[in-house]
Amino acid sequence: MNRYSINEFIKNTEQVDKGEGFFELETPRLLEVNLNGLVWAKAGSMVAYHGKIKFEREGILEHGLGTMFKKALTGEGASLMKANGDGKLYLADSGKKIIILHLENEAIFVNGNDLLAFEPSINHKIKMMKKVAGMMAGGLFNIRCEGTGLIAITSHYEPLTLRVTPGKPIITDPNATVAWSGNLQPEFQTDITLKTFLGRGSGESIQMRFEGDGFVIVQPFEETYYKQAQSYGG
């Protein structure tokens, strides 16, 4: 058979059931959800599905007035949708690499732009990074996921996990920070000398400082937040 034929292409790329369960990585950048009930997913992440599935945007009052105000401030980046039904759902986000994590009565913070999907057994809460609201364009919020179940997060290229140990804080660029352990509370700091040295915008001078005992996941890429960048003149 001609290796460039349509039949050969289909054979090499068609969907194959791997029997991995609720979440299944069809490719490193495409998540299959074997749906029989409900899943939460990033709004706009559906690329295909079959079966009977109904999509619904997260209600603005779903988690109370406080969340409503947070969502108004954070823009579209943290918007979630519910997919409910029976079938196969395929999710992706701008070709980013997908990581599946199983939480066992654990908590993890995920950058609002990097949370792709999670089981309904996981409690989620949007957290504002109030100290940086007027300081930088983007990375203003994160989502705390807690409980037992599967979550899928995304990373531009291969992620790196850095251990945070007492007395050895880890400093990261907010736009390259994907997630961190639920017991860590990052502080924000500005580095005026770095900003001056680089001669660049405010994004480079704001840093996240993690202290304690845990981990932080970073990606080799600085995400830009166009909507927020326009809002803050960045």
**How many Å apart are CA 77 and CA 91, to the nearest integer?**
16
Alpha-carbon dihedral of residues 35, 124, 95, 175, nearest 10 degrees?
180
Comparing C-alpha atoms, which of 205, 204, 67 is closest to residue 141?
67
Mean pLDDT for 198-216 is 77
Distances (CA, A) of 164 to 73, 167, 210, 226, 228: 30, 9, 7, 31, 29
What per-residue confidence (pLDDT) applies to 191? 74
Cα three-residue angle 105-44-70, rounded to 5 degrees: 60
**Contact between 182 and 106 (Cβ < 8 Å):** yes
Residue-wise pLDDT for 108-148, tens only, equals 999 988 999 999 999 999 887 766 555 554 446 789 999 99
Size of the chain in residues: 234
Phi and psi at residue 114, to the nearest 5° = -110, 10
- Domains present along the chain, CATH in parentheses: 18-231 (3.60.160.10)
Residue-wise pLDDT for 187-198, tens only, equals 988 876 665 555
Residue with tokens 């349509």: 6
Residue-wise pLDDT for 71-90, tens only, equals 444 444 468 899 999 999 99
Residue 22 in tokens: 């609720």
Residue-wise pLDDT for 120-131, tens only, equals 999 999 887 766
Cβ neighbourhood burial of 85 (10 Å; 0-12, 13-18, 19+): middle
β-bridge partners, 31: 25, 91
**How many Å apart are CA 29 and CA 193, to the nearest integer?**
38
- Does the pLDDT of residue 91 top 50, yes or no? yes
Phi and psi at residue 13, to the nearest 5° = -120, -5
Comparing C-alpha atoms, which of 202, 111, 205, 200 is closest to residue 156?
111
**How many Å apart are CA 226 and CA 234, to the nearest integer?**
9
What per-residue confidence (pLDDT) applies to 135? 52
Residue-wise pLDDT for 13-22, tens only, equals 888 887 779 9
Residue 147's identity, in one-letter code, is: G
Across the chain, mean pLDDT equals 83
